[in-house]
Amino acid sequence: MAYAALLSLTHVLQRTLKYDCSYLLPGEKQQINSVLKKVVYLQDFLDKFPQENIESIEGLERKISDAACQTEDIIESCIADRVLEESASHSGDIFTTSFHEIAKLIEEVDSIKIMAGKIEDESGIQEDSERNTSLPVGSLRTAPSGQSTMVGLDDAMAKIKDHLVNSSSKLEVVSIVGMGGIGKTTLAHKVYIDKYIEYHFHICAWCTVSQNYNAQKILLGLLDSMEKQIDGREKDIDQLGELLYKKLKGRRYLFVMDDVWDIEAWDSVKRYFPDDKAGSRILLTTRLENVANKISSRSHLHHVRFLNDEESWKLFHLKVFGKGFCPLELEEIGKKIAQNCGGLPLTVAVIGGLLSKTSKTPHYWRSIAKNLRSEITSNDEQCSKILSLSYKHLPYHLKGCYLYMGIFPEDHPINVKVLTKLWVAEGIIKPTCSKTLEDIGEEYLLDLFQRSLILVQKKGFSGKIKTCTIHDQLRDLCIREAQKEKFFHVSEPSFDVIQESTSMRRGLLPFSMSYVLEPRIKSRVPFQGRGGSTSAHGLNPRIKSRDLKPFFFFLIVEDSFDFSSLKVLHTDGTGDLENGIQVLVNVRYFSCYFGCDIASIYKFRNLQTIIFRCGVHKLPPEIWKMPQLRHVKLKYWSSLPDPPISEIKGEENSIIVLENLQTLSMINGFSWTEEVLKRIPNLRKLAICFEFEMESDWKEYLINNLVRLTKLESLTCLIRFEDSDYPVDNNFPVDITFLTSLRKLTLQGIKFDPSKLTILGSMPNLEEWEPNEEEFLKLKFLLLEQVELKHWIADSIHFPSLEHLKIFYCKLLDEIPVGFGEISTLQFIELYGSSSIVESAKKIEKAQLEWGNDAFKLYIKEYY
């Protein structure tokens, strides 16, 4: 993964120059700048290198990756040694020696640069020669022959046929979108050979486009499919296009363009398709939703779904037994095999084809079920090729991010915010001006979805992806490619080894791809790979990340473990991390479930994300001296000390501004002075809690100063009294000035003066709010819980975007405004209330259904 390695090194070099200058010896800054220039050059080279020639530089990529990884290891290791030594003179020989090694690497990078230039020149010559020839490039295939086996897509086929024959008289494009192997081509072929389609269209033609296309190849393919034999040597593109145009003029035609990867493939030939208002159609299949969106309208875009268990079994049965019967003793295990194919027709067909030609015994089928993945990979090379095409077609900046998704367990719901934080921590996101790395990460994820490489599991109210998954076969692809590229290694725990020493402290520690494991370990770190078990790392001198990169495994630590080279530490389970935690000088992402000593957190010089899912009574004041912090997230309310007074009252340039800090969550009892707010100007998400005895105490916290946080998008504010676990019964009026930048607002324990509702309703960007009272024009989600509200006067015009309404324990409220029955966006109402409010909800349900909103749902639970 040369590009990912270069990106990671770029981040390290830039951070070293910005934050670690005090640890550098004379001349080292110049050396780092020299390396940085070469790294940027190589990034630009890879960005511009033609995708179709990528295999020609595989050897070069390995050299780049090795050089980048070695350089990063040297810099991070040496800086870590100096931080831990806390030497004022920084005169240690280790760092000087290490930069002697960097000097050698610079020479190697220079030689790579020369080699890269040669390859770039050669690729340019090759590209020019291809443009000047009139001969077709690559393979050409007409419509698939024979009967394709299609199961479970009759509903999709009916919709596509309807769009083809019953829509507008204008020329239109209908797109079929889905991941590789899901059955797009099979579905298109079934439509193509349908008798009614053949009757409806005067001319039908098929062309497989693929990645290596040109306009001449597409035109020749269509003409060939029309049984119009043309000698391509005698015709240029315009001549072929004119011939096609004349053949189609005045006729109603259907063209299938199968496996389209680029909008340019369509743009290069669309002018040769006449639009005579005869109802002609182009049926297009693609893995890339963004390509389909640019070519066809939303209403003419069809996503191919996965097969359900019943459909998978039916297809499996057809592949193994044809029209015959399945022996009773094989049915149960056969259904299990079909189910484990994950609904992907390609996988079902591969394993079905294997079992149709082998021994049909329960014992053999059970062995296949146990090793299903390896059997699919080893018995059908074409299956792997089809799936790997999507990965190979990815631009460089997406490849590392996509492979990284293989670290998550099978069928694991992947939290997008966690994933993007990990990408940022690993340094594999390419910075863009005016956008945060997290925003760029979300764009990467959307791009992967549009390429049919990930599956959306859950979306937020704003429409953004909250959790996603990756199909089992694509996860296997990520793991194979990552291990081949030495990007990361996924191993399973060896429970036998763990049980040998129950006295040792244990923790489930998922590690990410690029850490350096430098054990001073007295016990063993067990690994169990896919092909068996390896174990026993004792007092090793050094095991580098490029040699072995486990992600999910049990780590057994007896007394000491050197964490100084870890970049990402994500822990689950029980136990503690007392030993070695104070030397996490290079960690960037730290997520902890259990107790640890955080007094030394100020030494975590590169720390970007802190997630404590255990009780932390008080954060250390050194938080204010960590300029690389991006996210501080706590599961339980914790206090945050004020910044050191000496700095606040000192010179302006002595104040450390946490310009990268975006999240500060679950902070208890903090006073928001102007001096504090100057330190966190780019905060986007804030969750705060206040405890006090009387209303007058509220003013001490200066909550209205939060209007100075002009980028704040999400605010949670909880008020409670001492010795009270829940705030609702202690509501009192509070005077709050709100920020117009807010998109999400959660308030608990606060009673508003009625005049404040006008101010709240005028907030232009708010999309999601969980308030005690109502009304917002862009509000999508509204929760009223234990609100002292008796008369609610509102109409559909106050909530035109509302989707979800929840009302819990509002004892005084006897009805929902009748106008809610006319809110077209409303998806469901959930109630836990009196019989009177339930009756009003049923009237709204009736009105919604009469308006044609069949998706509306009402959930009711009465409590008296």
Mean pLDDT in residue range 62-89: 78
CB 784 within 8 A of CB 830: no
* Nearest alpha carbon to residue 504 among 487, 488, 523, 483: 523
- Other C-beta atoms closer than 10 Å to the C-beta of 269 total 26
CB 823 within 8 A of CB 799: yes
Pairing of strands 685-692, 714-721: parallel
Share of the chain above pLDDT 70, in %: 71
- Other C-beta atoms closer than 10 Å to the C-beta of 454 total 24
Judge whether residue 231 has pLDDT over 60.
no
In this structure, of 189-198, 650-659, 674-683, 738-747, the range with the lowest mean pLDDT score is 650-659
More confident residue, 742 or 508: 742
Determine the pLDDT at residue 801.
85
More confident residue, 863 or 857: 857
More confident residue, 36 or 486: 36
309-384 folds as Helicase, Ruva Protein; domain 3 (1.10.8)
Joined together, the tokens standing for residue 813 give 């409220």
More confident residue, 639 or 532: 639
Joined together, the tokens standing for residue 701 give 């916290």
The correct answer on CATH 3.30.930.10 for the domain covering 154-303 is no
Average pLDDT, the chain: 76
Determine the pLDDT at residue 747.
72
Give the residue range(s) of CATH 1.10.8 domains in the chain: 309-384
Using CA atoms, how far apart are residues 130 and 125, in angstroms rounded to an integer?
9
- Which residues contact residue 243 at a Cβ distance below 8 angstroms, ignoring those fewer than 6 apart? 223, 228, 230, 235
Question: Sign of the CA dihedral 62, 66, 67, 68?
Answer: positive
Mean pLDDT in residue range 248-252: 90
Joined together, the tokens standing for residue 73 give 């290891």
- Residue 355 identity (one-letter amino acid): L
Q: For residue range 752-805, what is the model confidence (pLDDT) as tens digits?
A: 554 555 455 555 565 554 433 344 566 788 877 766 667 777 777 778 888 888
- HSE of 102, CA atoms in CB hemisphere, 13 A: 27
CB 622 within 8 A of CB 602: yes
Determine the pLDDT at residue 799.
80
Cα 700 to chain centroid, rounded: 42
- Residue 627 identity (one-letter amino acid): P
pLDDT band of residue 461 (cuts 50, 70, 90) is: low
What is the DSSP annotation of 218-270? Answer: HHHHHHHHTT----GGG--HHHHHHHHHHHHTTS-EEEEEES---HHHHHTTG
Assign residue 535 a region (left: φ > 0; alpha: ψ between -120 and 50; beta: otherwise).
Answer: beta
In this structure, of 33-37, 497-501, 664-668, 841-845, the range with the lowest mean pLDDT score is 497-501
- Residue 155 identity (one-letter amino acid): D
CB 553 within 8 A of CB 493: yes
In this structure, of 15-29, 540-554, 577-591, 601-615, the range with the lowest mean pLDDT score is 540-554
Bridge partners for 733 per DSSP? 751
- Other C-beta atoms closer than 10 Å to the C-beta of 455 total 15
Q: For residue range 353-366, what is the model confidence (pLDDT) as tens digits?
A: 778 878 888 988 88
Determine the pLDDT at residue 712.
92
Using CA atoms, how far apart are residues 536 and 339, in angstroms rounded to an integer?
37
**What is the maximum alpha-carbon separation in the chain?**
92
CB-count exposure of residue 614 (10 Å: 0-12, 13-18, 19+): middle
Determine the pLDDT at residue 864.
45
pLDDT band of residue 591 (cuts 50, 70, 90) is: confident
Judge whether residue 260 has pLDDT over 60.
yes
Joined together, the tokens standing for residue 253 give 């035609």
CB 392 within 8 A of CB 478: no
- Which residues contact residue 114 at a Cβ distance below 8 angstroms, ignoring those fewer than 6 apart? none
What is the DSSP annotation of 312-331? Answer: HHHHHHHHHHTTSPPPHHHH
Q: For residue range 278-333, what is the model confidence (pLDDT) as tens digits?
A: 999 999 999 999 899 888 876 788 999 999 999 999 999 998 998 889 999 999 99
Judge whether residue 818 has pLDDT over 70.
yes
Helices 328-339 and 309-321: crossing angle in degrees, nearest 10, is 120
Joined together, the tokens standing for residue 792 give 């609610």
Give the residue range(s) of CATH 1.10.10.10 domains in the chain: 397-484
Bridge partners for 285 per DSSP? 176
Give the residue range(s) of CATH 3.40.50.300 domains in the chain: 154-303
Determine the pLDDT at residue 517.
30
What is the DSSP annotation of 184-218? Answer: HHHHHHHHHT-HHHHHH-SEEEEEE--SS--HHHH
pLDDT band of residue 632 (cuts 50, 70, 90) is: very high
Q: For residue range 324-345, what is the model confidence (pLDDT) as tens digits?
A: 899 999 999 999 999 888 888 8
Local structure of 545: helix, strand or coil: coil
CB 184 within 8 A of CB 285: yes
- HSE of 377, CA atoms in CB hemisphere, 13 A: 13
DSSP state at residue 489: B
Q: For residue range 365-402, what is the model confidence (pLDDT) as tens digits?
A: 888 888 787 777 665 666 777 888 888 888 899 999 99
- Residue 433 identity (one-letter amino acid): C
Using CA atoms, how far apart are residues 67 and 322, in angstroms rounded to an integer?
55
Judge whether residue 472 has pLDDT over 80.
yes
Give the residue range(s) of CATH 1.20.5 domains in the chain: 2-132
CB 738 within 8 A of CB 714: no
Mean pLDDT in residue range 408-422: 89
Using CA atoms, how far apart are residues 25 and 89, in angstroms rounded to an integer?
9
Share of the chain above pLDDT 90, in %: 22
Judge whether residue 718 has pLDDT over 70.
yes
In this structure, of 151-160, 348-357, 446-455, the range with the lowest mean pLDDT score is 348-357
In this structure, of 172-186, 417-431, 823-837, the range with the lowest mean pLDDT score is 823-837
Determine the pLDDT at residue 284.
93
397-484 folds as Arc Repressor Mutant, subunit A (1.10.10)
What's the N-to-C CA distance of the chain in angstroms?
63
The correct answer on CATH 3.40.50 for the domain covering 2-132 is no
Pairing of strands 527-529, 532-534: antiparallel
CB-count exposure of residue 42 (10 Å: 0-12, 13-18, 19+): buried
Determine the pLDDT at residue 310.
92
